[in-house]
């Protein structure tokens, strides 16, 4: 039996093209982004984002994982993971255009015209509204209600820590429509335009991610705005979360590799007691441990993405990659800051920014504790066998 771990020529081309684009078009904006953020402004303006996305579109990077029927490239999950690694090399909040949340493909024909297609084209912006003040990792415990009123539904409740919640013009909102059925059968997803009456406010965090708190007070939504089937919204929610889970360690790889490069360069140029830092065993071990952990995260993450491309269940592998990769990024950034000493702690370098940013990796899209619960449950219940893969 032979196993080929190499990337295909197409995958290498994708990686190299994205790396070149990020290096030449995006990284030069880092000083400006830091300045903007530290003055309380968005790091990247909508105008600059659109310009970058159009440049990427001109070289074929538009809708990387969007089906070809919708004008995308449909490159697959492994190729998408490779792009996440490359965009992770910079803290500039850039994203390629031409994509939409995976669950929006559950739209019916009329909904696709109003929501899916404009989102792909970039003229509309969505947000995924599941988390509530009392229901974070325990997503099945949501309390937001939707009661039937003729051909409409009346939504009441709050959502919290919603990415894009302050900028989106419509939300994919999950609410309890039948409390007797539990999460599976009693939760429905609604497409809710902002002008239907919901409001948002920003939540300030220790990082540059300012999610939204969404309030729904007697918001009337027509029956035609149900996404998918009534009562089966929780299945859509889990589909969305599952697709995002391996993307976090992929980004963590890019962040950690960029940081490790910085540490190596600093260790070689900084001298103490007549010798470069790189000659000190303590520093060498930090560098070696970081390289090993980054490499391990690569194999875990790419394996999870590869299984997705093969149509195989990758949930267990995605949880392993998410747990390990999120912690890896935190360990690496801590070591890199330590290697830089006092300068690493200052705002003259972006290390402190990454330090704050990667701490979130261990929380959103499933905390460390939830990932451990999932992994252990799969093994204990026999859903996955030790040594099976």
Q: Give the residue, 272 or 140, on which the prediction is more confident.
A: 272
Q: What angle do CA 274, 279, 282 make, to 5 degrees?
A: 115
**Model confidence at 134: pLDDT above 90:** no
Question: 261 and 27 in contact (C-beta within 8 Å)?
Answer: no
Task: Give me the domains of the chain, ranges plus CATH numbers.
Answer: 9-99 (1.10.540.10), 126-232 (2.40.110.10), 246-380 (1.20.140.10)
Q: What dihedral do alpha carbons 135, 139, 144, 146 form, nearest 10°?
A: -170
**Model confidence at 358: pLDDT above 90:** yes
**Cα separation, 73 vs 63, whole angstroms:** 6
Question: 44 and 37 in contact (C-beta within 8 Å)?
Answer: no
**Cα separation, 131 vs 159, whole angstroms:** 6
**Measuring CA to CA, which residue among 241, 236, 242, 243 is closest to residue 103?**
236
Question: 62 and 83 in contact (C-beta within 8 Å)?
Answer: no
Helix (H) or strand (E) holding 53: helix 46-58
Bridge partners for 145 per DSSP: 156, 176
- Look at 21-30, 119-128, 146-155, 176-185 and tell me which has the smallest mean pLDDT: 176-185
Q: Find which of 121-125, 134-138, 383-387 is predicted with most confidence, using mean pLDDT.
A: 121-125
Q: How far is CA 327 from CA 149, 248, 323, 324, 334, in A?
A: 47, 11, 6, 5, 11
Q: How far is CA 72 from CA 4, 61, 66, 124, 237, in A?
A: 28, 9, 4, 17, 23
CB atoms within 10 A of CB 209: 15
**Measuring CA to CA, which residue among 199, 284, 222, 297 is closest to residue 257?**
297
pLDDT tens sequence across 145-187: 999 999 999 999 999 999 999 999 999 999 999 988 877 889 9
**Model confidence at 203: pLDDT above 80:** yes
Question: 77 and 65 in contact (C-beta within 8 Å)?
Answer: yes
pLDDT score, position 365: 85
pLDDT score, position 141: 83
């Amino acid at each position: 039996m032979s196993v080929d771990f190499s990337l295909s020529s197409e995958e290498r081309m994708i990686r190299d093209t994205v790396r070149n684009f990020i290096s030449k078009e995006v990284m030069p904006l880092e000083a400006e982004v830091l300045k903007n953020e530290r003055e309380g402004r968005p790091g990247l303006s909508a105008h600059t984002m659109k310009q970058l996305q159009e440049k990427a579109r001109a070289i074929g990077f538009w809708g990387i994982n969007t089906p070809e029927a919708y004008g995308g490239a449909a490159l697959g999950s492994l190729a998408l993971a490779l792009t996440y690694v490359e965009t992770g090399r910079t803290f500039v909040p850039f994203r390629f255009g031409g994509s939409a949340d995976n669950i929006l493909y559950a739209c019916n024909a009329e909904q696709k015209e109003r929501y899916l297609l404009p989102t792909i084209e970039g003229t509309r912006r969505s947000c995924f509204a599941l988390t509530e003040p009392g229901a974070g990792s325990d997503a099945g415990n949501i309390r937001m209600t939707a009661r039937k009123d003729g051909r409409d539904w009346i939504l009441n409740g709050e959502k919290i820590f919603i990415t894009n919640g302050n900028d989106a013009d419509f939300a994919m909102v999950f609410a309890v429509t039948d409390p007797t059925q539990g999460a599976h059968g009693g939760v429905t997803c609604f497409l809710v335009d902002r002008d239907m009456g919901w409001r948002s406010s920003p939540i300030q965090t220790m990082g540059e991610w300012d999610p939204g708190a969404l309030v729904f007070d007697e918001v009337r939504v027509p029956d035609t705005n149900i996404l998918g089937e009534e009562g089966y919204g929780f299945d859509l929610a889990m589909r969305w979360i599952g697709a995002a889970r391996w993307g976090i360690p992929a980004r963590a790889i890019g962040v950690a590799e960029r940081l490790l490069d910085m540490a190596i360069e600093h260790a070689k140029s900084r001298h103490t007691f007549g010798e470069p830092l790189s000659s000190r065993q303590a520093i060498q071990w930090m560098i070696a441990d970081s390289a090993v952990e980054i490499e391990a995260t690569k194999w875990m993450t790419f394996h999870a993405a590869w299984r997705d491309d093969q149509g195989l269940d990758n949930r267990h592998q995605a949880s392993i990659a998410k747990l390990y990769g999120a912690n890896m990024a935190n360990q690496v950034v801590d070591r890199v800051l330590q290697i830089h000493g006092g300068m690493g702690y200052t705002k003259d370098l972006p290390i402190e920014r990454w330090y704050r940013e990667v701490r979130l990796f261990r929380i959103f899209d499933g905390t460390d504790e939830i990932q451990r619960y999932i992994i252990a449950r799969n093994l204990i219940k026999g859903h996955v066998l030790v040594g099976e893969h």
